[in-house]
Amino acid sequence: MKEILLRQKQVLFFIIAGGLSAVVEIGSFKIFSTYLPHFFAKEINFHGIHYPLSNIFSTSCGIITNYFLSIWFVFERGKHSKKKEFAYFMVVSFFSTLLSLGFFQVFYSFIFKDNINLFFYTLSPEMISKIAAILLVSILNYSVKKKVIFNG
């Protein structure tokens, strides 16, 4: 019973850490996608890839935030050294980033075409696409990080 409660607590902390990381990622994406096109005109559409730098920079901010929240609150240290653990985390995050970028492109290009009005805020298609990509990839991230990196 204690193991089940501990596992539920870990999932809850993972959701909270992921939520905070997502806030950092989405917030930084909003900032980057608003200001980078002023400096790089191709940022909006670089050979069919929408907001590539904004996605990469914001995802990096979210990954770094998630790493520190994960080691402080979610997972116990595994059998790996801190350097190896960090390297594994970055490799998994790199592939997660590619997956997230792919999902973003599909969502932005084919699925989310209109704004969503939430009464207090209007979500643009790029923000909806970013949020949907984060949600999809986070499910995979929990499993891989728990089993491979932190040996849970």
Q: Is the pLDDT of residue 152 over 60?
A: no
Q: CB of 17 within 8 A of CB of 66?
A: yes
What are phi and psi for residue 122, nearest 5 degrees? -110, 125
Q: Is the pLDDT of residue 148 over 80?
A: no
- Work out the average pLDDT over 43-52: 87
pLDDT for res 94: 87
Q: Which alpha helices (DSSP H) does 40-147 contain, by range? A: 52-69, 82-106, 125-144
pLDDT for res 139: 80
When the pLDDT of each residue in the chain is averaged and rounded to a whole number, the result is: 86
Q: What is the DSSP letter of 81?
A: -
pLDDT tens for residues 60-109?
A: 899 899 889 988 887 776 677 788 888 888 888 889 889 988 999 999 99
Q: 150 Cβ partners below 8 Å, 6+ apart?
A: 70, 75, 76, 77, 78, 85
pLDDT tens for residues 3-12?
A: 666 667 777 8
pLDDT for res 78: 66
More confident residue, 47 or 141: 47
